[in-house]
């Protein structure tokens, strides 16, 4: 395995991220802080507890997951799209690197950025509300697994996109709405029975539910289902990535 090659891609992507910290870190942190002010303070003061958890604390896992999903997809897609756009992808493909090593370099860097951002937001949330993490190791596991899965999805999006505008289509029109409708600000138990069943077709529900369980020990769906859905989506993404490199889809054309 070419450790030096993977490390070069990984460090290059992290260095590019560090040059845009205001856009990459400060902007999502400020946006999430505004959510805490509006929903946690203004609305939360008028709402009762949800599942025995104060509303301000209840929305913490959902808001962190909202930013992590968005940033994972964005970092993963931009990381591979830039070499395609500039033409340097051919240098990467001609280097003594296997497809696995290329994916590990790009996706590993994107997932690392998202995990760091998630931890920063976790620390920021403590400035607004008090909460405890019931299962810290599971919290880190769900955070890392979600970051890797959606960084993989972003990688595929970056391969598929033929223009800058297409990089924004999926995050804006699909990922963000699914996250808002996936229990970020509420428990699906608060919905009418019919909508509860409809909501279960939203995969983001399982991600947020599993992540919230790691904080408070309560969840809308079982932890096993949350973990299974995340691993299943990761397996699908890995299968498509394998097909992309096998066929050269939009990489060698």
Residue by residue, DSSP assigns 32-52 as HHHHIIIIIIIIGGGS--BTT
Q: What is the pTM (predicted TM-score) of this model?
A: 0.91
pLDDT per position as a tens digit, 208-217: 999 999 999 9
pLDDT per position as a tens digit, 143-176: 999 999 999 999 999 999 988 888 888 888 888 8
The answer to the question of residue 252 being in a domain is no
The answer to the question of residue 13 being in a domain is yes
> What pLDDT, on the 0 to 100 scale, is given for residue 236?
95
- When divided into structural domains, the chain yields a total of 1
Distance CA 245, CA 253 (A): 12
What sign has the CA pseudo-torsion 27, 30, 32, 38? negative
pLDDT along the chain (253 residues), means of 10: 90 88 82 78 69 87 91 92 89 89 94 94 88 93 95 94 85 86 88 90 92 93 92 94 90 73
Query: Containing domain of residue 151, as a range?
Result: 3-247
The answer to the question of residue 146 being in a domain is yes
The answer to the question of residue 253 being in a domain is no
The answer to the question of residue 165 being in a domain is yes
The answer to the question of residue 117 being in a domain is yes
């Amino acid at each position: 395995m070419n450790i030096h090659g993977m490390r070069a891609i990984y460090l290059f992507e992290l260095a590019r991220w560090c040059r845009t910290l205001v856009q990459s870190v400060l902007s999502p942190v400020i946006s999430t802080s505004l959510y805490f002010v509006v929903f946690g303070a203004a609305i939360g003061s008028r709402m009762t507890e949800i599942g025995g958890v104060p509303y301000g604390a209840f929305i913490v896992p959902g808001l962190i997951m909202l930013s992590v999903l968005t940033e994972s997809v964005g970092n993963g897609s931009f990381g591979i799209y830039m070499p395609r756009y500039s033409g340097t992808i051919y240098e990467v493909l001609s280097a003594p690197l296997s497809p696995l090593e290329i994916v590990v370099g790009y996706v590993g860097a994107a997932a690392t950025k998202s995990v760091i951002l998630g931890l920063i937001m976790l620390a920021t949330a403590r400035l607004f509300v008090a909460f405890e993490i019931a299962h810290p190791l599971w919290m880190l596991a769900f955070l890392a697994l979600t970051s890797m899965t959606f960084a993989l999805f972003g990688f595929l999006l970056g391969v598929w996109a033929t223009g800058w505008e297409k990089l924004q289509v999926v995050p804006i029109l699909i990922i963000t709405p699914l996250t808002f409708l996936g229990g970020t600000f509420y428990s699906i138990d608060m919905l009418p029975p019919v909508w509860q069943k409809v909501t279960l077709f939203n995969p983001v529900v399982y991600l947020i539910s599993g992540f919230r369980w790691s904080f408070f020990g309560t969840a809308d769906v079982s932890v096993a289902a949350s973990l299974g859905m995340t691993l299943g989506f990761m397996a699908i993404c890995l299968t498509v990535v394998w097909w992309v490199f096998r066929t050269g889809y939009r990489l060698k054309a």
